[in-house]
Homo-oligomer: A and B are copies of this chain.
Amino acid sequence: MNVADRGLPVAVPSTALFTDQYEFTMLQAALRAGTAERRCAFEVFARRLPEGRRYGVVAGTGRVLDAVENFRFDDQVLQYLRERRIVDAPTLDWLSRYRFGGDITGYPEGEVYFPGSPVMRVEGSFAECVLLETVILSILNHDSAVAAAASRMAVAAAGRPLMEMGARRTHELSAVAASRAAYLGGFASTSDLAAGFRYDIPTVGTSAHSFTLLHDSERDAFTAQVDSLGSGTTLLVDTYDVAEAVRAAVETAGPGLGAVRIDSGDLLLLAHRVRQQLDELGATGTRIVVTSDLDEYAIASLAAAPVDAYGVGTQLVTGSGHPTCSMVYKLVARAASAERDAPLLPVAKKSMGGKTSAGGAKWAARRPDEDGVAMAEVVGTGTVPEELREHQLHVPLVRRGETVAREPLDTARERHKKALAGLPMSAMQLSRGEPVLPTEYV
């Protein structure tokens, strides 16, 4: 079953043009030179985490699998490539039959990663692998950035529910992927209906200031909302005077009012005042939701406040200061010739001035201490040491072109919780610091 084909509200007839032009020109040159069929291994990794971050979160894997399945060249796409003379006729012919037939191996979605972790490996001919560079990186770099921010916010919220509300602050389709990554990272729900539709994430939302302003009085607005949505709804209480609004809210909905939302001002102070007022009015079960420019630090600073749920927008969808990861897709090994059994040779860029990396296809394992707490991310080539065999991180994702690791989003979400729980306690610190695990190369 091809999930991406059902990916409304946006159908993706093909992901084949989410590609940088040089992938096509390299393909053409390699086809002509007779090197296109050399077996290759490309690896996705980040040389570093965003500054100060303790761990990264692998997110987007499920979307990568959809994108690879949908990487096809229909007539319209081929016509574009032909008319713009991006590639020649033999290359167009080759593309018309394209279907990825290689293997993809990687960290399972929701797992954490560190500098140098080989989070994904793509193996097959140079021709079939080189074309996937951009779309794989787009997805992993975006989704992992959002998931990392979400994970830190979930740590800061310490069990209180987080609502994702950032659609308006990012591209309309990034928003859908961001909701997915946020849910994976520990958020409970989203305001974005496209994300609810596409990924079955619980959706939330009741009213904005405009609804209050539309009516002749705040009380009229509250009455209209409660009439329509019931007393369990969330009333927004900061359009005019908060204390008056809270009084009107409880009078309108009764002490069974579901929640009040505060979207501006000093949230710490207001939460305490509103809680006290609600309790005095007998609305002891009415929850307090806060939603104003929150990030993980603001959430943590409200830990002692009587807040029941957080809505997070801008800082979530922009990765809380790090809107992209720096994952790259590098050729690490290739066959000596195009013959089927030619041995793979490790390769790597070697110039002065940085951006070098280690050649060879890598395994990865997380070495635990005697209590089972992770001590190091171990990355190597060749044989996996005996004591690390059962701690390996890679799982098969695609075999001979067939996806073998489709899973529900909730599985990745649970995996992330478990992965976090296996890290040293210092992973939970919000303050800037070094990656919580060192990466050891064997």
Known: A139-B172, A354-B264. A210 touches B134 (CB 8 A): no
Decide yes or no whether A35 CB sits under 8 A from chain B: yes
B-chain residues with CB within 8 Å of residue A372 when the two chains form the complex: none
Known: A13-B11, A33-B224, A355-B263. A167 touches B191 (CB 8 A): no
The answer on a CB contact under 8 Å between A170 and B165 is no
The answer on a CB contact under 8 Å between A324 and B170 is yes
User: What are 12 pairs between A and B in contact, CB < 8 Å?
Assistant: A8-B76, A9-B15, A9-B16, A15-B172, A18-B194, A32-B228, A40-B214, A80-B197, A86-B193, A133-B210, A138-B175, A170-B323
Q: Give the number of chain A interface residues (Cβ < 8 Å).
A: 116
Min distance, Cβ A282 to any Cβ of chain B, angstroms: 24
Find residues 177-223 in chain A having any chain B CB closer than 8 Å to their own CB.
177, 191-194, 196-197, 203-211, 213-216, 220, 223
B-chain residues with CB within 8 Å of residue A158 when the two chains form the complex: none
The answer on a CB contact under 8 Å between A228 and B25 is yes
Min distance, Cβ A262 to any Cβ of chain B, angstroms: 9
Interface residues of A (CB under 8 A from B): 8-26, 28-30, 32-33, 35, 38, 40, 42, 67, 76-77, 80-81, 84, 86, 88, 126, 130, 133-135, 137-139, 141-143, 165, 167-175, 177, 191-194, 196-197, 203-211, 213-216, 220, 223-225, 227-229, 233, 238-242, 263-266, 270, 292, 314, 317-318, 323-324, 326, 329-331, 334, 336, 347-355
The answer on a CB contact under 8 Å between B17 and A197 is yes
B-chain residues with CB within 8 Å of residue A18 when the two chains form the complex: 9, 167, 172, 175, 192-194
A353 nearest CB neighbor, chain B only: B265
The answer on a CB contact under 8 Å between B21 and A203 is yes
Query: When chains A and B are docked, how far (Å) is the Cα of A265 from the Cα of B215?
Result: 61
The answer on a CB contact under 8 Å between B20 and A205 is yes
B-chain residues with CB within 8 Å of residue A206 when the two chains form the complex: 21-22, 25-26
The answer on a CB contact under 8 Å between A193 and B224 is no
B-chain residues with CB within 8 Å of residue A135 when the two chains form the complex: 172
Min distance, Cβ A280 to any Cβ of chain B, angstroms: 21
